[in-house]
Amino acid sequence: MRPVLVLTAVDVEARGLARLLALPRVLSSDFPHFAGGALEIACIGLRGGHIARADGCRPPALIISAGTCGALAPTLVAGDLVVPETVLGPGGIRYATAPLSGNPATGTLVTVADVVHSGAQKTRLWMDSGALAVDMESSVILAWAQARGVMGAVVRAVSDTSERGVPADLAAVVAEDGRVRTLRAVSAVLARPRAAADAMALRTTTNAALKVIAQALGRIVRVQ
């Protein structure tokens, strides 16, 4: 089987996918890193800021940007799989994705530098870009793959719908390296009573999204 490298932004995504796919931890790594069979998963931080971690992984035949995304199209609901044909990066750069057997690609995903906090921001971004969904890493990951002559693709699932963004205080809970900071989470809940309910709702939709992504990754490995 061809080796597949799956890159996520957040440690919760990497750990969740590894658990669902029964992949053991790579004990020699000091960051969330899992491998088993054809699959290898590594956390590379927000905006792909720690993508250099991927240089320590085995040479892949396919690189996949995986994790949650925000819906821009009103037709998308939490848990919907997003496998785009094209990723739109900063400055209008477009990246075509590699075809994935068992996971038909459609539409565009746009990568932005900052968290989209509100439904109004999402509406503007949808109208400006025409993209179905938004994330912060896929264009970075596809550029990294392209520079190494490796095929790149995106397998994401919706965690927040077009009507809602991720509240700023909850977004701040995740540090740049992708790790969740417990003290920041406690501070957010103490400062804003609604934050606890928002966090639980986001956790529920994130878990649903990760299950869908794990199923898609399983299909990719089986048809190689």
3-state secondary structure of 123: helix
**Domain coverage including residue 79:** 4-222
Here the CATH number for the domain that contains residue 16 is 3.40.50.1580
With 90 as the cut, is the pLDDT of residue 198 above it? no
pLDDT greater at residue 169 or residue 96: 96
Any residues with CB less than 8 A from the CB of 134 and at least 6 apart, and which? 69, 70, 72, 109, 110, 111, 112, 116, 122, 125
Amino acid at 38: A
Q: What is the predicted pLDDT for the residue at 224?
A: 57
pLDDT confidence tier of residue 58, bands split at 50, 70 and 90? very high
Q: What are phi and psi of 221, to 5 degrees?
A: -65, -40
pLDDT confidence tier of residue 129, bands split at 50, 70 and 90? very high
**Extended strands (E) in 112-204:** 133-135, 151-160
The per-residue pLDDT for range 180-190, each reduced to its tens digit, is 888 888 888 78
Number of domains present in the structure of the chain: 1
3-state secondary structure of 129: helix
The pTM (predicted TM-score) of the whole model is: 0.94
- Considering only CA atoms, which of 135, 132, 123, 151 is closest in space to residue 89? 135
Which stretches of 102-151 are DSSP H helices?
A: 119-129, 138-147
